Structure 1
C-alpha cells in the first residue's frame, strides 16, 4: 500500500498564492492525505450514508477531489479507501443543461462534495431554508469535524463491487451511467504497468504528474490512480488554460496527458523557423531506426532543449487520448519534445486505455498502437459500409472483451444489451489492423448516410482524410439523402491562413479573411487536392465550404467534453 511504502513522500500539491501571485508548489505527504481521508470516511458514515450509497463530487480538479474519491473507490492508496463500500459519482455540467440534476436523481446521490465556485454564496438564510428541505450544508472544515472520535465497522468488499458510476457525454439523449468495478480499474492499472515495463518506462515514486484533465472523465482518473499506486506525486493546475504552461514550468512533470486539441495548441506555440530547420534531419534518422535521444544529440542540445525547457525540462512521456491526434502534430512533437509521444484509445466503458502506441515505433504514427495486456480484441465486418474483417487489410467494428470492461449501464439494461453481445463490447468505432499489430481508427459505424444518388458516405472516415490538410484545425462534413454532394464547415489554422493571406494580397483580421471568397476557394482547393491524393470517390469530394474563425466548442454545445462532434447540434447551428 502506498501510504505504508511512501508515508513521507509528496502526494498532492498545489501552487501557493501570495499577494495575488502564484508561488511554488506546496505539498501534502501520503501520510497527511491518509489521515484526512480517514476523517472524510468517518464523517460520511456519521451522516448516515451506508454501504452501497452514492457520493457525488462536483468541481474542478483539486486535492479534496482526490481525498473524497480515494475514500469511496478502488484506489491502491490504502486498504481503507473503498472500505465503506460507497460508489463515487462525478458530477459535471459540461454534459449539457440539467445534467447535474439528472445525474443526482438518476444515480440516487445522497451526499455531494461541491466546489464553492459551482454554487451561489451560502448565506445563513439559504442554509436555514435548505435545512427545512432536509438538506445539511457544511464547509470542508466543518464536515471533517463530524467524524471526530468515531469508528465504523467496515463491510466485506468484493472485486466485483461498483466503485464508481461515471456518466458519459454521448452525442444525443440523456447521459448514461457507466458502472465500473474495483476489478476493472485494478486490471487496467496492472496492464498499463506491464506495458510500461516492456518498453523500459516504468513509473516510480520520483515521477510527477500535472492534474488538469477533468477527474470526472475516465482518462485522467485512471492515470492518477496509477501514479498513486506507485507513490508518485500529483500537482494541480490553477484552472486557467492560459496559465497551464506556466504551471507545467513550475511543477516540472515527467508525464503529461492531454487531448489532441490542446496538444495541437502547444505545438503551434513551440514552432519556429529554427525548429523546422533542424526537424527534418532528426526525423529522417528516427525513421531509420534511431531512438529519439540518439537521432540528433547536437540539435537536441542546441535547439530542441529550448522546447523541452518550456515543458518543464523533465518530461519523458506525452500521452494523447480521447480523440485522434493528427499525424503531423505527432511527428512534430516526437522530434522536438525530446520525449516519447504516445497515442491511446479507449472509452469509459473500457476503463479508458485499450490500445497504446509504443515509443520508438515511428511506423505506428497515426495509429493508436497495439492492445494493452488483459484485453481481447476482434474486428467484426460491417458489410453495409464495405468493411470486411477477413480481407487482406482487415477492417471492421472494434469489439473488446476482458475484465477491464464496464459492468453495464446503470438502470439501462436495454442499452447494455445493445452494446454487449456474447460477452463482446461493440464500440461503434471502425478499426483497421496494421501489419505491425497496431490499430488505426478510421471511421464511426453510426456516422453513415446516403446521398440522393444512393451512395453511402462514411463521414467520419472522410473527416479523418480531410483532416490531413495542414491548413485546417477541424472539419465537419455534411450531406443528406436529398442532396447529391457534400459540404463542410472548416476551422482554418490561424497561422497558416494568415500566412497565405499575406502572400496573396488578402487583407484584414482572421475573421475577415475567413469571409473572403478567395480564402474559401483556397481551402476548398486544398481539400480537393487531398481527396485526389487519397483517391477518394467522386461523390466523396466536398463541393462547398464555410470557414468559421471560431473553433467548434462546448460553449455552443458543438462538442462533447471529450471533443467529439455533436452532429445534430452542428447541423442546427450551421
Structure 2
C-alpha cells in the first residue's frame, strides 16, 4: 500500500512493511501478551463483520471507554472505523452526568468498556440513554456482554465483502471520530476530526520525530482517549514500532524496567515528578557522591544543544553522563532515546537537564482541534531550541494575531464542533482556527507559547498577569507541588499552593521541626508557612512588582484527576479549583 488516506490504513501499512510479532502488547496478570500485526487486523476485521451483522451503518456512533490503554481498544478502533461508523472515545474518570450527556449528544448506539467500575457508571445512567443498544466489556464483568462475543460472531467471513465495500466507500474527508473536550459553558464540546485531519497530522509529524522504524519499542500510558496519545499510536504503527501499554501511572516505574522502551510520550507533570524523585535520591547521598550529583545537575542546568557551550563543557558533560546521568537512564528502563512531551508548558530547566542526561525531550504544541500537532522540536538539523515548542510542521500555516493569539490553518484543523455551529464559528474565522493560546515566533521560526488567552487576567490596576509563566517558575521549588495563580479583577495576584507533603515531612525530620502528622496540620503550621513564604519570595524576584504573588494559602488536599482538580492530562481545572477553595479565596481578598 503506497497511500495512507484513512486511519485504518495504518495497520495495513504496518503489515505490508514490517509485519510485527509484537504490534500491540498488553500485560494481563504477570504476563505481557503480544498481538502480531496479522492478528490485530484479523480481530479488527472480525469486529467489523460483527458490527455490520448487528446493523451498524455508516455514520453511526460507537463509544470506547477504557480505564487503561490496552490492545482491545485499538482492535475495536480499527473495527469501528472500517464500517464507516465513528469512534467516540470517552475519559473513564468523568462524572455519570457527563457520561449521560456525551452518550446522548453523540447518539452512541454501542459502547465498549474496560471493566466493572466503568460498567457500573454506564449501567446507572443507561435508562436515560435511549439510543444505547448494548454494552460490551473487555474484562469479564457480571451482567455485561463480553467483547469476545463479537469476535466469535465475526468468525463467519461471509459478509467480509460488505466490510470491504464499506472501507472503499470511506473518503479521507469523512468524519472519523468525535472527541469531547471541556467547554466554556460547562458542557463538553465534541471535536469532529476527519480521517484526513489525523492522517495528515501523523504524516506531517513523522518527518519531525526521529523514530527508528521496525526495531523499536514504545511505552504508552497517557490516556488513549486524548488525541495526543492516539495520534502517536498511529505514528508508531506507521513506523512499525511495537507498542507496549503501561498498566497504570502507579506501575509505570515497574513497566519501564520490564519493557525497556526506546520512546514514550509524557506530560510536563510526569517529568516534574520524575525529576523530584531523582533530586530526592541525590539529596540523600553523602560525601563525594552527593557533590558529584549536584555538580552534574548544575552542569545540566546550563545545557545548550549542538555544542554551543564549547569543547570544555562537552568534555565535562561526557563525564557527568557516565558517572551520574547513566543512572537516570537505568531508572527509565536503560534504553530510552526520546521523550515526546505535550499538553502543557514544560519548564526550561527540565528540558535542559533531561537533554543533558542524554534523554532528549522533544516538546511540541497543539490542541485536540488541530489533531493535535502544530509544531514540534527536532534535535536533528538545528530544529531544537530550549524554551520553544519547535518549528511549525510543514503543511501547516501559523500566524500571530494583533493581540498575540496563535492562529492556525491546515489539513489538520477540525471540521467543527458536533451539533454546535455557534461555537465552531467562534473559533474558526477567516479560514484560521483561533487556538486561544498566546505566543510568538522568533526570527528563526521557533514558536514559543506564553500563556492561554482565557487564563490571562487583569488586576484591578489594569495590569495583565500570565499565570502559567508564574506557576512554572514557582513549581521549581521542592516545597511546592502544585500552584494556581489567582487575582482576576482583584488588586493583586495571589495563589493557592498545594505543598509537596512528602518533601515537607522529610524537611521537618531533617530540621527536627514538628510540623504535624496530617496534611491539615502541616498546612496550618507557622514554620511551614514561613518556609514556603521564603520560596515565594525567591521566585517573586523573577517578576515585576505588579506580577509578584502578594499572598497565598496552602491547601491540605492532594490535587488530582479523581478529586477534580486536574484534567486527565494533568492541567489545572481553574474554575473548579477556585470553587473548591472559595473560602480561601475570600480569606485572601476580604
> So what's the TM-score if we normalise by structure 2?
0.83
Report whether the alignment pairs 1:110 with 2:109: yes
8 Å contact 1:179–1:410 — kept in the other structure?
Answer: yes
Paired residues for 1:396-407 under 5 Å: 396-407=404-415
Report whether the alignment pairs 1:227 with 2:248: no
Report whether the alignment pairs 1:9 with 2:27: no
Q: Name the counterpart of 1:277.
A: 295
Q: For residues 449 and 516 of structure 2, what CA distance do their matches in structure 1 show?
A: 36
Q: Name the counterpart of 2:100.
A: 101
Report whether the alignment pairs 1:531 with 2:579: no
Call closer, same or farther: CA 1:375–1:140 in 2, change over 3 Å.
Answer: same
Q: Pick from 208, 218, 224: which aligns with 2:217?
A: 208
Report whether the alignment pairs 1:339 with 2:359: yes
Q: For residues 434 and 462 of structure 1, what CA distance do their matches in structure 2 show?
A: 22
Q: Name the counterpart of 1:296.
A: 317
Q: For residues 368 and 139 of structure 1, what CA distance do their matches in structure 2 show?
A: 43
Tell me how far 1:89 sits from its aligned partner: 0.5
Tell me how far 1:96 sits from its aligned partner: 3.7
Aligned residue pairs total 533
Q: For residues 120 and 295 of structure 1, what CA distance do their matches in structure 2 show?
A: 56
For residues 399-434 of structure 1, the C-alpha deviation after alignment (integer angstroms, 9 at most, x for no partner) is: 111001111001001000000011111111111333
Tell me how far 1:339 sits from its aligned partner: 2.2
8 Å contact 2:365–2:375 — kept in the other structure?
Answer: yes
Report whether the alignment pairs 1:162 with 2:183: no
Q: For residues 544 and 330 of structure 1, what CA distance do their matches in structure 2 show?
A: 30
Q: For residues 94 and 565 of structure 2, what CA distance do their matches in structure 1 show?
A: 11
8 Å contact 1:95–1:175 — kept in the other structure?
Answer: no
3-state SS of paired residue (2:433): strand
Q: Name the counterpart of 1:567.
A: 574
Tell me how far 1:145 sits from its aligned partner: 1.9
Call closer, same or farther: CA 1:551–1:435 in 2, change over 3 Å.
Answer: farther
Tell me how far 1:357 sits from its aligned partner: 2.2
Could you list the runs of 5+ residues in structure 1 that have no partner in the other structure?
Answer: 74-81, 383-395
Tell me how far 1:180 sits from its aligned partner: 0.6
Tell me how far 1:528 sits from its aligned partner: 3.2
Report whether the alignment pairs 1:348 with 2:373: no
Call closer, same or farther: CA 1:455–1:133 in 2, change over 3 Å.
Answer: closer
Tell me how far 1:330 sits from its aligned partner: 2.3
Q: Name the counterpart of 1:369.
A: 390
For residues 178-227 of structure 1, the C-alpha deviation after alignment (integer angstroms, 9 at most, x for no partner) is: 1111111111111111213xxxx243111111121111000100000011
Report whether the alignment pairs 1:379 with 2:400: yes
Tell me how far 1:549 sits from its aligned partner: 4.7
For residues 378-400 of structure 1, the C-alpha deviation after alignment (integer angstroms, 9 at most, x for no partner) is: 11122xxxxxxxxxxxxx11111
3-state SS of paired residue (1:328): helix
Q: For residues 328 and 411 of structure 1, what CA distance do their matches in structure 2 show?
A: 43
Q: Name the counterpart of 1:430.
A: 438
Tell me how far 1:269 sits from its aligned partner: 2.2
Tell me how far 1:364 sits from its aligned partner: 2.3
Q: Name the counterpart of 1:388.
A: none
Tell me how far 1:172 sits from its aligned partner: 4.8
For residues 131-154 of structure 1, the C-alpha deviation after alignment (integer angstroms, 9 at most, x for no partner) is: x99844531221212222331232
Call closer, same or farther: CA 1:142–1:563 in 2, change over 3 Å.
Answer: same
3-state SS of paired residue (2:541): helix
Q: For residues 493 and 303 of structure 2, what CA distance do their matches in structure 1 show?
A: 41
Q: Name the counterpart of 1:267.
A: 275
Tell me how far 1:568 sits from its aligned partner: 2.1
Q: Name the counterpart of 2:10.
A: none
Q: For residues 203 and 223 of structure 2, what CA distance do their matches in structure 1 show?
A: 23
Report whether the alignment pairs 1:520 with 2:529: yes
Tell me how far 1:541 sits from its aligned partner: 2.2
Q: For residues 301 and 565 of structure 2, what CA distance do their matches in structure 1 show?
A: 36
Could you list the runs of 5+ residues in structure 2 that have no partner in the other structure?
Answer: 1-12, 136-144, 283-289, 582-590
For residues 114-134 of structure 1, the C-alpha deviation after alignment (integer angstroms, 9 at most, x for no partner) is: 112334589xx99xx99x998
3-state SS of paired residue (1:268): helix
8 Å contact 1:95–1:560 — kept in the other structure?
Answer: no
